[in-house]
Amino acid sequence: MSDKRAILAIDQGTTSSRAIVFSLEGEPVALAQREFTQIYPQPGWVEHDPEEIWESTCAVMTEALDAARENGWQVLTTGITNQRETTIIWDRVTGMPIYNAIVWQDRRTAARCAMLAAQGHEEMISARTGLLLDPYFSASKIAWILDEIPGARARAEAGELAFGTVESFLLWRLSGGVHLSDATNASRTSLYDINIGKWDEELLALFEVPAALLPTVCPNAGKFALIAQGLPGGGLPITGMAGDQQAAAIGQACYRPGEMKITFGTGAFMLANTGDKAVQSAHRLLTTIAWEIEGVRSYAMEGSILSAGSTLQWLRDGLGIIENADDSEDMAKSIIDTGGVYMVPAFAGLGAPWWDAEARGAIVGLTRGTGPAQIARAGLEAVAYQCADLLAAMKADGIVPKRLKVDGGMTKNAWLMQFLADMVALPVLRPQMTETTAFGAAMLAGIGAGIFESLIDVDARWHEEASFMPSIDAAERQAKLEGWNEALGRVKTG
Ligand code: ADP
Protein backbone atom coordinates (compact mmCIF):
# COMPACT_ATOMS: atom_id res chain seq x y z
CA MET A 1 0.00 0.00 0.00
CA SER A 2 1.37 3.41 -0.91
CA ASP A 3 1.92 5.99 1.81
CA LYS A 4 -0.94 8.45 1.56
CA ARG A 5 0.15 10.75 4.35
CA ALA A 6 0.44 14.42 3.49
CA ILE A 7 1.12 17.96 4.73
CA LEU A 8 -0.94 21.10 4.07
CA ALA A 9 0.96 24.30 3.21
CA ILE A 10 -0.77 27.67 3.32
CA ASP A 11 0.97 30.25 1.08
CA GLN A 12 -0.56 33.63 1.80
CA GLY A 13 0.99 35.87 -0.88
CA THR A 14 0.71 39.49 -1.94
CA THR A 15 -1.81 38.94 -4.71
CA SER A 16 -3.35 35.58 -3.85
CA SER A 17 -3.84 33.02 -1.10
CA ARG A 18 -2.95 29.46 -1.95
CA ALA A 19 -3.15 26.10 -0.22
CA ILE A 20 -1.19 23.10 -1.44
CA VAL A 21 -1.26 19.57 -0.06
CA PHE A 22 2.11 17.78 -0.46
CA SER A 23 2.76 14.07 -0.18
CA LEU A 24 5.62 13.18 2.17
CA GLU A 25 7.70 12.62 -0.99
CA GLY A 26 7.20 16.29 -1.78
CA GLU A 27 4.71 15.94 -4.65
CA PRO A 28 1.85 18.46 -4.75
CA VAL A 29 -1.37 16.42 -4.68
CA ALA A 30 -3.97 19.19 -4.34
CA LEU A 31 -3.85 22.94 -4.94
CA ALA A 32 -6.29 25.80 -4.55
CA GLN A 33 -5.74 29.49 -5.20
CA ARG A 34 -7.79 32.62 -4.74
CA GLU A 35 -6.86 36.18 -5.66
CA PHE A 36 -7.95 39.05 -3.49
CA THR A 37 -8.35 42.82 -3.77
CA GLN A 38 -5.42 45.21 -3.87
CA ILE A 39 -6.46 48.49 -2.28
CA TYR A 40 -4.69 51.68 -3.41
CA PRO A 41 -6.17 54.51 -1.31
CA GLN A 42 -3.56 57.06 -2.46
CA PRO A 43 -0.47 57.04 -4.70
CA GLY A 44 2.22 55.00 -2.94
CA TRP A 45 -0.25 53.41 -0.50
CA VAL A 46 -1.10 49.68 -0.72
CA GLU A 47 -3.52 47.90 1.60
CA HIS A 48 -5.28 44.54 1.93
CA ASP A 49 -8.50 43.87 3.78
CA PRO A 50 -7.47 41.41 6.55
CA GLU A 51 -10.93 39.81 6.37
CA GLU A 52 -10.32 39.07 2.69
CA ILE A 53 -6.92 37.59 3.54
CA TRP A 54 -8.67 35.43 6.16
CA GLU A 55 -11.64 34.40 4.03
CA SER A 56 -9.53 33.58 0.97
CA THR A 57 -7.18 31.53 3.15
CA CYS A 58 -10.07 29.57 4.67
CA ALA A 59 -11.58 29.00 1.23
CA VAL A 60 -8.38 27.60 -0.30
CA MET A 61 -7.71 25.46 2.78
CA THR A 62 -11.16 23.90 2.49
CA GLU A 63 -10.83 23.34 -1.25
CA ALA A 64 -7.34 21.78 -1.10
CA LEU A 65 -8.13 19.63 1.94
CA ASP A 66 -11.38 18.36 0.39
CA ALA A 67 -9.64 17.51 -2.88
CA ALA A 68 -6.79 15.70 -1.12
CA ARG A 69 -9.07 13.76 1.22
CA GLU A 70 -11.34 12.73 -1.64
CA ASN A 71 -8.30 11.09 -3.17
CA GLY A 72 -7.51 9.27 0.03
CA TRP A 73 -4.81 11.54 1.41
CA GLN A 74 -4.50 11.81 5.15
CA VAL A 75 -3.28 15.28 6.09
CA LEU A 76 -1.11 15.22 9.22
CA THR A 77 -0.06 18.79 9.84
CA THR A 78 0.03 22.36 8.51
CA GLY A 79 2.69 24.92 7.60
CA ILE A 80 2.22 28.62 6.88
CA THR A 81 4.28 30.89 4.64
CA ASN A 82 3.37 34.47 3.93
CA GLN A 83 4.00 37.83 2.31
CA ARG A 84 6.49 39.40 4.70
CA GLU A 85 6.48 42.78 6.52
CA THR A 86 2.76 43.42 5.84
CA THR A 87 1.35 44.79 9.08
CA ILE A 88 -1.94 44.06 10.87
CA ILE A 89 -3.12 45.31 14.27
CA TRP A 90 -6.21 43.75 15.84
CA ASP A 91 -8.32 43.77 19.00
CA ARG A 92 -7.28 41.00 21.38
CA VAL A 93 -10.87 40.44 22.53
CA THR A 94 -12.81 40.49 19.28
CA GLY A 95 -9.98 39.53 16.89
CA MET A 96 -11.13 42.39 14.64
CA PRO A 97 -8.42 44.44 12.86
CA ILE A 98 -8.49 48.15 13.69
CA TYR A 99 -7.21 49.11 10.23
CA ASN A 100 -6.49 47.43 6.89
CA ALA A 101 -3.26 45.49 6.48
CA ILE A 102 -0.53 47.90 5.35
CA VAL A 103 1.32 46.01 2.62
CA TRP A 104 5.12 45.79 2.37
CA GLN A 105 5.10 47.87 -0.84
CA ASP A 106 3.41 50.79 0.93
CA ARG A 107 5.52 53.99 1.04
CA ARG A 108 3.33 56.16 3.32
CA THR A 109 5.91 56.21 6.12
CA ALA A 110 8.77 57.49 3.93
CA ALA A 111 8.88 60.84 5.76
CA ARG A 112 9.08 59.20 9.20
CA CYS A 113 11.90 56.96 8.00
CA ALA A 114 13.74 59.88 6.39
CA MET A 115 13.47 61.80 9.67
CA LEU A 116 14.95 58.90 11.65
CA ALA A 117 17.71 58.59 9.06
CA ALA A 118 18.47 62.32 9.31
CA GLN A 119 18.79 61.88 13.08
CA GLY A 120 21.53 59.33 12.38
CA HIS A 121 19.76 56.14 13.48
CA GLU A 122 20.31 53.98 10.41
CA GLU A 123 23.63 52.52 11.51
CA MET A 124 22.26 51.24 14.82
CA ILE A 125 19.13 49.86 13.12
CA SER A 126 21.23 48.06 10.50
CA ALA A 127 23.61 46.58 13.04
CA ARG A 128 20.77 45.12 15.12
CA THR A 129 18.14 44.20 12.52
CA GLY A 130 20.21 43.66 9.37
CA LEU A 131 17.73 45.95 7.56
CA LEU A 132 17.82 49.45 6.12
CA LEU A 133 15.79 52.35 7.43
CA ASP A 134 12.95 52.08 4.92
CA PRO A 135 9.12 52.13 4.89
CA TYR A 136 9.23 48.56 3.53
CA PHE A 137 9.60 47.06 7.03
CA SER A 138 6.84 46.76 9.63
CA ALA A 139 7.98 49.13 12.42
CA SER A 140 7.03 52.46 10.87
CA LYS A 141 3.74 50.97 9.59
CA ILE A 142 2.78 49.96 13.14
CA ALA A 143 3.52 53.46 14.40
CA TRP A 144 1.43 54.97 11.58
CA ILE A 145 -1.65 52.91 12.56
CA LEU A 146 -1.23 53.78 16.25
CA ASP A 147 -0.95 57.49 15.45
CA GLU A 148 -3.73 57.70 12.89
CA ILE A 149 -6.48 55.53 14.40
CA PRO A 150 -8.15 57.42 17.26
CA GLY A 151 -7.42 55.84 20.65
CA ALA A 152 -5.19 53.13 19.19
CA ARG A 153 -1.98 54.14 20.94
CA ALA A 154 -3.56 54.21 24.39
CA ARG A 155 -5.26 50.88 23.74
CA ALA A 156 -1.98 49.38 22.54
CA GLU A 157 -0.22 50.54 25.70
CA ALA A 158 -3.01 49.05 27.81
CA GLY A 159 -2.43 45.67 26.17
CA GLU A 160 -5.78 45.61 24.38
CA LEU A 161 -4.34 45.30 20.87
CA ALA A 162 -2.12 42.80 19.08
CA PHE A 163 0.30 43.30 16.19
CA GLY A 164 1.26 40.61 13.76
CA THR A 165 2.61 40.06 10.30
CA VAL A 166 0.33 37.88 8.19
CA GLU A 167 1.45 34.47 9.53
CA SER A 168 0.82 35.70 13.07
CA PHE A 169 -2.64 37.04 12.21
CA LEU A 170 -3.59 33.76 10.48
CA LEU A 171 -2.27 31.69 13.39
CA TRP A 172 -4.29 33.78 15.84
CA ARG A 173 -7.46 33.34 13.80
CA LEU A 174 -6.92 29.63 13.10
CA SER A 175 -6.07 28.78 16.72
CA GLY A 176 -8.62 31.03 18.39
CA GLY A 177 -6.17 33.45 19.99
CA VAL A 178 -2.62 32.06 20.12
CA HIS A 179 -0.30 35.04 19.53
CA LEU A 180 3.02 33.86 18.06
CA SER A 181 5.36 34.76 15.23
CA ASP A 182 8.49 33.06 13.90
CA ALA A 183 12.12 34.12 13.67
CA THR A 184 12.11 34.84 9.93
CA ASN A 185 9.03 37.03 10.00
CA ALA A 186 10.17 38.82 13.17
CA SER A 187 13.46 39.60 11.42
CA ARG A 188 11.53 41.74 8.89
CA THR A 189 9.84 44.06 11.39
CA SER A 190 12.86 46.26 12.16
CA LEU A 191 12.15 45.71 15.87
CA TYR A 192 13.97 42.40 16.31
CA ASP A 193 17.66 42.01 17.15
CA ILE A 194 18.69 39.23 14.78
CA ASN A 195 22.03 38.73 16.53
CA ILE A 196 20.48 37.58 19.80
CA GLY A 197 16.93 36.76 18.69
CA LYS A 198 14.96 39.22 20.83
CA TRP A 199 12.62 42.16 20.42
CA ASP A 200 14.82 45.20 21.02
CA GLU A 201 13.71 47.78 23.60
CA GLU A 202 15.68 50.62 22.05
CA LEU A 203 14.17 49.97 18.62
CA LEU A 204 10.69 49.77 20.16
CA ALA A 205 11.29 53.18 21.76
CA LEU A 206 12.73 54.65 18.56
CA PHE A 207 9.76 53.57 16.42
CA GLU A 208 7.31 54.26 19.30
CA VAL A 209 5.90 50.74 19.37
CA PRO A 210 4.56 49.48 22.75
CA ALA A 211 5.95 46.04 23.67
CA ALA A 212 2.45 44.94 24.75
CA LEU A 213 1.50 44.63 21.05
CA LEU A 214 4.09 42.03 20.17
CA PRO A 215 3.77 38.29 19.58
CA THR A 216 6.17 35.77 21.14
CA VAL A 217 8.75 34.71 18.56
CA CYS A 218 9.27 30.97 18.01
CA PRO A 219 11.68 28.89 15.94
CA ASN A 220 10.42 27.99 12.44
CA ALA A 221 9.55 24.39 13.21
CA GLY A 222 7.69 23.22 16.30
CA LYS A 223 4.23 23.04 17.79
CA PHE A 224 2.70 26.48 17.26
CA ALA A 225 -0.97 25.70 17.86
CA LEU A 226 -3.92 23.53 16.88
CA ILE A 227 -6.50 24.71 14.35
CA ALA A 228 -9.77 25.25 16.22
CA GLN A 229 -12.63 22.83 15.59
CA GLY A 230 -15.21 24.23 13.20
CA LEU A 231 -12.57 25.91 11.02
CA PRO A 232 -11.06 24.43 7.83
CA GLY A 233 -8.51 21.84 8.94
CA GLY A 234 -10.03 21.85 12.46
CA GLY A 235 -7.92 19.72 14.83
CA LEU A 236 -4.78 19.79 12.65
CA PRO A 237 -1.61 21.11 14.26
CA ILE A 238 0.35 24.03 12.83
CA THR A 239 4.01 23.04 13.09
CA GLY A 240 5.92 25.27 10.68
CA MET A 241 5.93 28.96 9.77
CA ALA A 242 8.32 31.15 7.74
CA GLY A 243 8.26 34.23 5.54
CA ASP A 244 7.89 33.49 1.83
CA GLN A 245 11.46 34.12 0.64
CA GLN A 246 12.95 32.12 3.48
CA ALA A 247 10.49 29.30 2.80
CA ALA A 248 11.50 29.37 -0.89
CA ALA A 249 15.18 29.14 0.10
CA ILE A 250 14.36 26.07 2.20
CA GLY A 251 12.26 24.59 -0.61
CA GLN A 252 15.29 25.06 -2.87
CA ALA A 253 17.48 23.21 -0.36
CA CYS A 254 19.56 26.36 0.23
CA TYR A 255 19.91 25.65 3.92
CA ARG A 256 23.70 25.27 3.80
CA PRO A 257 26.19 28.17 3.77
CA GLY A 258 27.06 29.29 0.25
CA GLU A 259 23.85 28.03 -1.39
CA MET A 260 21.71 30.67 -3.04
CA LYS A 261 18.41 31.05 -4.87
CA ILE A 262 16.50 33.72 -6.71
CA THR A 263 12.72 33.74 -6.98
CA PHE A 264 11.34 35.56 -10.04
CA GLY A 265 7.83 36.87 -9.64
CA THR A 266 6.63 40.43 -10.09
CA GLY A 267 9.92 41.42 -8.47
CA ALA A 268 12.80 39.08 -7.71
CA PHE A 269 14.46 38.10 -4.45
CA MET A 270 17.95 36.68 -4.15
CA LEU A 271 18.95 34.97 -0.89
CA ALA A 272 22.37 33.55 -0.07
CA ASN A 273 22.75 31.40 3.03
CA THR A 274 25.64 32.60 5.21
CA GLY A 275 25.35 29.91 7.90
CA ASP A 276 25.71 30.97 11.53
CA LYS A 277 27.21 34.36 10.58
CA ALA A 278 25.04 37.44 10.21
CA VAL A 279 27.16 39.09 7.50
CA GLN A 280 26.76 42.86 7.52
CA SER A 281 26.65 44.19 3.96
CA ALA A 282 28.73 47.13 2.85
CA HIS A 283 26.58 47.34 -0.31
CA ARG A 284 23.08 47.99 0.98
CA LEU A 285 21.99 44.36 0.93
CA LEU A 286 19.91 43.04 3.82
CA THR A 287 20.91 40.54 6.47
CA THR A 288 18.09 38.35 7.64
CA ILE A 289 17.32 35.18 9.58
CA ALA A 290 17.15 32.26 7.10
CA TRP A 291 15.70 29.83 9.61
CA GLU A 292 15.87 28.82 13.25
CA ILE A 293 15.31 25.21 14.21
CA GLU A 294 16.05 23.55 17.55
CA GLY A 295 18.27 26.33 18.83
CA VAL A 296 20.30 26.66 15.63
CA ARG A 297 19.93 29.95 13.81
CA SER A 298 21.07 30.42 10.25
CA TYR A 299 21.37 33.72 8.39
CA ALA A 300 21.02 34.89 4.81
CA MET A 301 22.03 37.88 2.78
CA GLU A 302 19.18 39.20 0.67
CA GLY A 303 18.77 41.54 -2.25
CA SER A 304 15.63 42.48 -4.14
CA ILE A 305 14.95 43.60 -7.68
CA LEU A 306 11.79 45.67 -7.89
CA SER A 307 10.89 45.03 -11.55
CA ALA A 308 11.35 41.52 -12.93
CA GLY A 309 8.07 39.94 -14.16
CA SER A 310 6.50 43.39 -14.04
CA THR A 311 8.79 44.39 -16.93
CA LEU A 312 7.04 41.74 -19.04
CA GLN A 313 3.67 42.95 -17.81
CA TRP A 314 4.57 46.43 -19.00
CA LEU A 315 5.72 45.15 -22.41
CA ARG A 316 2.33 43.45 -22.69
CA ASP A 317 -0.10 45.91 -21.07
CA GLY A 318 1.76 49.22 -21.26
CA LEU A 319 3.51 49.00 -24.59
CA GLY A 320 1.46 46.26 -26.24
CA ILE A 321 4.40 44.68 -28.12
CA ILE A 322 3.84 41.16 -26.75
CA GLU A 323 0.55 39.34 -26.40
CA ASN A 324 1.66 37.28 -23.43
CA ALA A 325 4.82 36.79 -21.41
CA ASP A 326 5.66 33.56 -23.25
CA ASP A 327 5.99 35.49 -26.57
CA SER A 328 9.04 37.26 -25.21
CA GLU A 329 11.14 34.10 -25.55
CA ASP A 330 10.60 33.67 -29.30
CA MET A 331 11.08 37.39 -29.87
CA ALA A 332 14.39 37.38 -28.00
CA LYS A 333 15.56 34.36 -29.96
CA SER A 334 14.56 35.87 -33.32
CA ILE A 335 17.49 38.34 -33.24
CA ILE A 336 21.19 37.93 -32.43
CA ASP A 337 21.33 40.94 -30.12
CA THR A 338 19.44 44.10 -29.20
CA GLY A 339 21.59 46.24 -31.52
CA GLY A 340 22.84 48.25 -28.56
CA VAL A 341 19.41 48.84 -27.00
CA TYR A 342 19.21 48.68 -23.20
CA MET A 343 16.12 48.99 -21.03
CA VAL A 344 16.34 50.04 -17.39
CA PRO A 345 12.97 49.02 -15.87
CA ALA A 346 13.07 51.44 -12.95
CA PHE A 347 9.27 51.92 -13.05
CA ALA A 348 9.16 52.40 -9.27
CA GLY A 349 12.79 53.25 -8.59
CA LEU A 350 15.71 50.86 -8.34
CA GLY A 351 16.07 48.20 -5.63
CA ALA A 352 19.22 46.58 -4.30
CA PRO A 353 22.03 47.41 -4.37
CA TRP A 354 21.12 50.93 -5.58
CA TRP A 355 18.02 51.75 -3.52
CA ASP A 356 17.26 54.77 -5.68
CA ALA A 357 13.57 55.52 -5.10
CA GLU A 358 13.56 58.56 -7.40
CA ALA A 359 15.09 56.85 -10.45
CA ARG A 360 12.70 56.28 -13.37
CA GLY A 361 13.06 53.89 -16.28
CA ALA A 362 14.59 54.40 -19.72
CA ILE A 363 15.17 52.70 -23.04
CA VAL A 364 18.47 53.83 -24.55
CA GLY A 365 20.38 53.19 -27.74
CA LEU A 366 17.40 53.43 -30.11
CA THR A 367 18.11 53.49 -33.85
CA ARG A 368 15.91 53.19 -36.94
CA GLY A 369 16.65 49.46 -36.79
CA THR A 370 15.02 49.11 -33.37
CA GLY A 371 11.74 47.22 -33.33
CA PRO A 372 9.56 45.30 -30.89
CA ALA A 373 11.94 42.31 -30.77
CA GLN A 374 14.90 44.46 -29.71
CA ILE A 375 12.83 46.15 -27.02
CA ALA A 376 11.33 42.90 -25.71
CA ARG A 377 14.77 41.33 -25.60
CA ALA A 378 16.21 44.38 -23.84
CA GLY A 379 13.46 43.99 -21.20
CA LEU A 380 14.41 40.37 -20.56
CA GLU A 381 18.11 41.15 -20.57
CA ALA A 382 17.53 43.85 -17.96
CA VAL A 383 16.25 41.21 -15.54
CA ALA A 384 19.52 39.30 -15.90
CA TYR A 385 21.67 42.44 -15.65
CA GLN A 386 19.98 43.34 -12.37
CA CYS A 387 20.75 39.84 -11.07
CA ALA A 388 24.38 40.30 -12.10
CA ASP A 389 24.51 43.57 -10.13
CA LEU A 390 23.04 41.88 -7.06
CA LEU A 391 25.47 39.03 -7.32
CA ALA A 392 28.42 41.40 -7.72
CA ALA A 393 27.33 43.18 -4.52
CA MET A 394 27.06 39.86 -2.69
CA LYS A 395 30.51 38.82 -3.88
CA ALA A 396 31.93 42.14 -2.72
CA ASP A 397 30.45 41.34 0.70
CA GLY A 398 32.33 38.06 0.77
CA ILE A 399 29.78 35.56 -0.59
CA VAL A 400 31.39 32.91 -2.78
CA PRO A 401 28.58 31.51 -4.95
CA LYS A 402 29.00 28.27 -6.86
CA ARG A 403 25.62 28.04 -8.51
CA LEU A 404 22.29 29.81 -8.57
CA LYS A 405 18.98 28.01 -8.08
CA VAL A 406 15.97 29.68 -9.68
CA ASP A 407 12.20 29.51 -9.25
CA GLY A 408 9.08 31.54 -10.03
CA GLY A 409 7.01 32.29 -13.13
CA MET A 410 9.80 33.78 -15.27
CA THR A 411 12.05 30.73 -15.00
CA LYS A 412 10.09 28.85 -17.63
CA ASN A 413 11.70 31.22 -20.14
CA ALA A 414 14.70 29.07 -21.10
CA TRP A 415 16.26 31.81 -23.22
CA LEU A 416 16.27 34.13 -20.19
CA MET A 417 17.74 31.42 -17.94
CA GLN A 418 20.60 30.91 -20.42
CA PHE A 419 21.23 34.65 -20.67
CA LEU A 420 21.18 34.80 -16.85
CA ALA A 421 23.81 32.04 -16.62
CA ASP A 422 25.92 33.97 -19.15
CA MET A 423 25.66 37.23 -17.20
CA VAL A 424 26.22 35.87 -13.69
CA ALA A 425 28.88 33.41 -14.92
CA LEU A 426 27.43 30.65 -12.76
CA PRO A 427 25.47 27.48 -13.45
CA VAL A 428 21.73 28.25 -13.16
CA LEU A 429 19.66 25.34 -11.83
CA ARG A 430 15.91 24.98 -12.30
CA PRO A 431 14.15 22.42 -10.08
CA GLN A 432 11.26 20.14 -11.01
CA MET A 433 9.31 21.57 -8.09
CA THR A 434 7.62 24.77 -9.19
CA GLU A 435 5.99 25.42 -5.81
CA THR A 436 9.18 25.95 -3.82
CA THR A 437 7.72 28.47 -1.36
CA ALA A 438 4.82 26.29 -0.23
CA PHE A 439 7.08 23.25 -0.31
CA GLY A 440 9.51 24.96 2.09
CA ALA A 441 6.64 25.62 4.50
CA ALA A 442 5.53 21.98 4.22
CA MET A 443 9.07 20.80 5.01
CA LEU A 444 9.22 23.03 8.10
CA ALA A 445 5.83 21.71 9.22
CA GLY A 446 7.07 18.15 8.69
CA ILE A 447 10.13 18.82 10.83
CA GLY A 448 8.03 20.53 13.50
CA ALA A 449 5.68 17.54 13.63
CA GLY A 450 8.54 15.06 13.86
CA ILE A 451 7.74 13.52 10.44
CA PHE A 452 11.10 14.63 9.04
CA GLU A 453 14.30 14.78 11.01
CA SER A 454 15.93 17.92 9.67
CA LEU A 455 16.35 20.16 6.61
CA ILE A 456 18.66 17.50 5.16
CA ASP A 457 15.43 15.71 4.26
CA VAL A 458 14.79 18.42 1.64
CA ASP A 459 17.72 17.11 -0.43
CA ALA A 460 16.02 13.83 -1.29
CA ARG A 461 13.00 15.81 -2.53
CA TRP A 462 14.86 18.42 -4.60
CA HIS A 463 15.28 17.32 -8.22
CA GLU A 464 16.93 19.30 -10.99
CA GLU A 465 14.74 19.80 -14.04
CA ALA A 466 17.22 21.75 -16.18
CA SER A 467 20.57 23.46 -15.80
CA PHE A 468 22.03 26.34 -17.82
CA MET A 469 25.81 26.70 -18.07
CA PRO A 470 27.62 29.97 -18.83
CA SER A 471 28.49 29.89 -22.53
CA ILE A 472 30.11 33.23 -23.38
CA ASP A 473 33.62 34.49 -22.71
CA ALA A 474 34.56 37.13 -20.17
CA ALA A 475 35.14 39.84 -22.81
CA GLU A 476 31.65 39.48 -24.28
CA ARG A 477 30.10 39.49 -20.80
CA GLN A 478 32.12 42.54 -19.85
CA ALA A 479 31.03 44.42 -22.98
CA LYS A 480 27.35 43.75 -22.30
CA LEU A 481 27.64 44.70 -18.62
CA GLU A 482 29.41 47.92 -19.56
CA GLY A 483 26.53 48.85 -21.87
CA TRP A 484 24.09 48.11 -19.07
CA ASN A 485 26.08 50.19 -16.58
CA GLU A 486 26.14 53.09 -18.96
CA ALA A 487 22.33 52.90 -19.33
CA LEU A 488 21.94 52.57 -15.56
CA GLY A 489 24.10 55.63 -15.07
CA ARG A 490 21.62 57.68 -17.10
CA VAL A 491 18.68 56.90 -14.81
CA LYS A 492 20.30 56.95 -11.37
CA THR A 493 19.61 60.12 -9.44
CA GLY A 494 22.28 59.79 -6.76
P1 ADP B 1 3.89 36.47 -8.63
O2 ADP B 1 3.72 35.38 -7.61
O3 ADP B 1 4.77 37.61 -8.18
O4 ADP B 1 2.64 36.95 -9.26
P5 ADP B 1 4.80 34.37 -10.53
O6 ADP B 1 5.83 33.52 -9.92
O7 ADP B 1 3.43 33.83 -10.79
O8 ADP B 1 4.74 35.79 -9.82
O9 ADP B 1 5.42 34.88 -11.92
C10 ADP B 1 4.67 35.61 -12.79
C11 ADP B 1 5.57 36.59 -13.52
O12 ADP B 1 6.37 35.88 -14.45
C13 ADP B 1 4.73 37.56 -14.29
O14 ADP B 1 5.13 38.87 -13.94
C15 ADP B 1 5.04 37.28 -15.76
O16 ADP B 1 5.19 38.48 -16.47
C17 ADP B 1 6.35 36.52 -15.71
N18 ADP B 1 6.40 35.47 -16.75
C19 ADP B 1 5.55 34.45 -16.93
N20 ADP B 1 5.91 33.71 -18.00
C21 ADP B 1 7.03 34.26 -18.51
C22 ADP B 1 7.90 33.97 -19.61
N23 ADP B 1 7.69 32.92 -20.42
N24 ADP B 1 8.96 34.78 -19.83
C25 ADP B 1 9.19 35.83 -19.02
N26 ADP B 1 8.42 36.15 -17.97
C27 ADP B 1 7.35 35.40 -17.71
Digit-coded pLDDT (tens) for 338-362? 999 999 999 888 988 998 888 899 9
H/E segment holding residue 248: helix 244-251
Q: Is residue 467, in this structure, part of any structural domain at all?
A: no
Q: Is residue 421, in this structure, part of any structural domain at all?
A: no
Q: Is residue 440, in this structure, part of any structural domain at all?
A: no
User: Given ligand 1 and candidates 312, 326, 327, 436, which is best to mutate, with the most ligand atoms within 8 Å of its CB?
Assistant: 312
Q: Is residue 118, in this structure, part of any structural domain at all?
A: yes
Q: How confident is the model at residue 494 (pLDDT cuts 50, 70, 90)?
A: confident
Q: Whose CA is nearest to atom 8 of ligand 1?
A: 265
| C-beta contacts of 35-42 below 8 A and 24+ residues apart | 38/103, 39/100, 42/108
Q: How confident is the model at residue 1 (pLDDT cuts 50, 70, 90)?
A: very low
Q: Is residue 477, in this structure, part of any structural domain at all?
A: no
Q: Is residue 65, in this structure, part of any structural domain at all?
A: yes
Find residue 303's DSSP bridge partners: 270
Q: What Cα–Cα distance (Å) separates residue 197 from each residue in 127, 152, 216?
A: 13, 28, 11
Can you tell me the mean pLDDT for 199-208?
A: 97
Q: Is residue 87, in this structure, part of any structural domain at all?
A: yes
Q: Whose CA is nearest to atom 13 of ligand 1?
A: 309
User: What integer pLDDT is reported at residue 434 of this predicted model?
Assistant: 86
Can you tell me the mean pLDDT for 320-345?
A: 96
- Ligand 1: residues with CB < 6 A are 13, 15, 265-266, 309-310, 312-313, 325-326, 328-329, 408-410, 412-413, 416
User: What integer pLDDT is reported at residue 349 of this predicted model?
Assistant: 86
- Relative orientation angle of helices 244-251 and 436-448, to the nearest 10 degrees: 80
- From the list 380, 377, 406, 379, the residue with the least C-alpha distance to 391 is 406
Domain extent at residue 159: 5-243
Residue 402: exposed, middle, or buried by beta-carbon count in 10 A (0-12, 13-18, 19+)?
Answer: exposed
User: Given ligand 1 and candidates 410, 418, 434, 439, which is best to mutate, with the most ligand atoms within 8 Å of its CB?
Assistant: 410
H/E segment holding residue 20: strand 16-23
Q: How confident is the model at residue 306 (pLDDT cuts 50, 70, 90)?
A: confident
How close is the Cα of 379 to the center of ligand 1, in Å?
13
Q: Is residue 166, in this structure, part of any structural domain at all?
A: yes
Total domains in the fold of the chain: 1
Question: Is residue 309's pLDDT more than 70?
Answer: yes
User: What integer pLDDT is reported at residue 2 of this predicted model?
Assistant: 65
Determine the atom of ligand 1 nearest the C-alpha atom of 407: 6
What CATH number does the domain containing 198 carry?
3.30.420.40
How close is the Cα of 125 to the center of ligand 1, in Å?
34
Q: How far apart are CA 60 and CA 62, in angstroms?
A: 5
User: What integer pLDDT is reported at residue 105 of this predicted model?
Assistant: 87
How close is the Cα of 91 to the center of ligand 1, in Å?
37
